[in-house]
Amino acid sequence: MCKDGLVELWNAPLAPGPVTGTVALPGSKSITNRAYILAAQASSASTLTNTLRSRDTDLMARGLTALGVDVNFLTDTTVAVTGGALHGAAVDCGLAGTVMRFLPPLAAGARGSSRFDGDPQARIRPLGTVLDALRGLGARIDGDGLPFTMHGEGPIRGGTVTIDASASSQFVSGLLLSGPSFAEGVTVHHDGKPVPSMPHIEMTVDMLRAAGADVDTAEPNTWRVAPGGLHAHDWTVEPDLSNATVFLAAAAITGGAVTVPHWNPQSTQPGVQFADILAEMGAEVTHADGALTGRGTGGLHGVDWDLRDIGELTPTVAALAALADTPSHLRGIAHLRGHETDRLAALTAEISALGGHCTETEDGLRIEPATLHGGLWHSYADHRMATAGAILGLVTTGVQVEDIATTAKTMPDFPAMWEGLLGLRDGASS
C-alpha cells in the first residue's frame, strides 16, 4: 500500500514460539481463472464455488464482464457465469499472467476491437508467443506486448500452430482453453526446451475435458482441442496449495505444526509436491482426514531439487534453504526470470542483503548456510517474494517487507492470516 507516494514497510513478526494451527485457505487462483474462461464459453450458467477473490481473479471477472460475459456474484466466493456474444472492450490485465495470456485468445472471437493493458511491470512480461500464435490462427492484432489491440470479427479460424513455450506453460494453456470456440479447434505443438510447470497444463486439460471438450494429448509436446461448444459445469475450486506452502514453512522453521484442510494428494496444483520437499528438508508430513499437517523437527536440511514443474514454489523453498544447515541447489527454473519479476535475481539480492549466501546459476540458485540479520526485504510487486520475506522474518529479528499489500494478488488478507496463525490477531486460524 502507498502513503504520500511511498510504499509502506511491514514489520515481519517474529514467531513467539512454535507456530501451530489450522489454516483454511481461499481457492486456487489457477483453477478459478481457468474455470472462468471455460464457463464463459458455455451457453448456460455455470456455478463456481469457493472461488478465490483476489486482484488477479477480480481482474479476470471484470475483463470477462467488459467483453460481454454475464458474471453474477451470488456470494463473495460463489459466482454464476453465463457465456454470450462477445464484443470489443478495454481490458486491464494488472500484473496477472493468467489474464494477459488467457483472455486474448477468448477475445479474439469477439466482434469489435479490444485494447489490453496492465501494470508497468506487466509490459515487460513475455507475451509475444501468444500474440504471434493467435495471428497464425487468424487473429488480427496491433502490437507485440502490452499494450496491444485486438480487432475481432467473430470466431477465428484456429488450426495448427507451433510455439516455443519454454518460457511459460501459460502460452499453451491460454490457447487450449479457448480452442473449443475456434472454428477448426486448435492444435498446439511445442518446439524448444522443456515446457516448465507441466502440472498447470495437466490442470488445463483435465478442466477442458470436465467441461465437455475433446482433448488429444497422445503425441508428445502436442495438444489438440476439437471445436465444439462447452457445456455448463459447476466447479468447486480447491484451496490454493501453493499459498499453503507458506504456512507449512512456518511450522517447519519454528518446530510447530500447521494443518491445511481439504488437501487433495491427487491435485494437479504444483503446490501438492511441496509435501515431498518439506519431508526431504527434515520436516514431518502426515495426511489424515483429508488434511495435510507439516511438523517441524528442530532442524532444516538443504536439498538438491529440480523445480522446473513447480517453479512457483521457488521463493518459499529458497527461504527455507536460507535457514537450512547444509547447501541447497534449486534447478530447472531459468524461466523464473520472466515471472512477475526476475525471481532468481530478486531472491539472490534479497537473501544476500540479509546476510545469506545465495548465488545464481544458469538455471537456478545455490544457497549455502549463513546467519541472517534484519533489514529491508523488497517485494518487487511480487506476491511470492513478499511471503518469502515473511517466512524469514519469523526467525530473523528486524525484517521489514516492502509492499506486503502485493500479496492481495492471490491472498486478499495475508497479513491478518499470518498474524492470526502466530496468535497476534484473532480469527485467522483455528
Could you list the active site residues? 312
224 assigned binding-site residue: no
Residue (of 182, 114, 116) closest to 151 by Cα position? 114
Residue (of 254, 273, 257) closest to 265 by Cα position? 273
Element (H, E) at 241: helix 241-254
356 assigned binding-site residue: no
384 assigned binding-site residue: yes
Cα gap 415→404, rounded to integer Å = 8
273 assigned binding-site residue: no
Phi, psi dihedrals of residue 356, rounded to the nearest 5°: -80, 170
Cα gap 272→282, rounded to integer Å = 17
193 assigned binding-site residue: no
41 assigned binding-site residue: no
Residue (of 385, 261, 250, 259) closest to 320 by Cα position? 250
How many of the other CB atoms lie within 10 Å of CB of 323?
24
- Provide the grid cell at 296: 517441524
3 assigned binding-site residue: no
Residues whose CB falls within 8 Å of the CB of residue 288, separated by 6 or more in sequence, listed in order = none
Residue (of 298, 294, 302, 300) closest to 255 by Cα position? 298
242 assigned binding-site residue: no
30 assigned binding-site residue: yes
Asked whether the beta carbons of 111 and 154 are under 8 A apart, the reply is yes
266 assigned binding-site residue: no
157 assigned binding-site residue: no
Q: Residue 355's Cα: distance from chain center in Å?
A: 29
> Which residues sit in the known binding site for 3-phosphoshikimate?
29-30, 34, 168-170, 197, 312, 339
Which residues participate in the annotated binding site for phosphoenolpyruvate?
Answer: 29, 97, 125, 170, 343, 384, 409
Q: Which residues are annotated binding-site positions?
A: 29-30, 34, 97, 125, 168-170, 197, 312, 339, 343, 384, 409
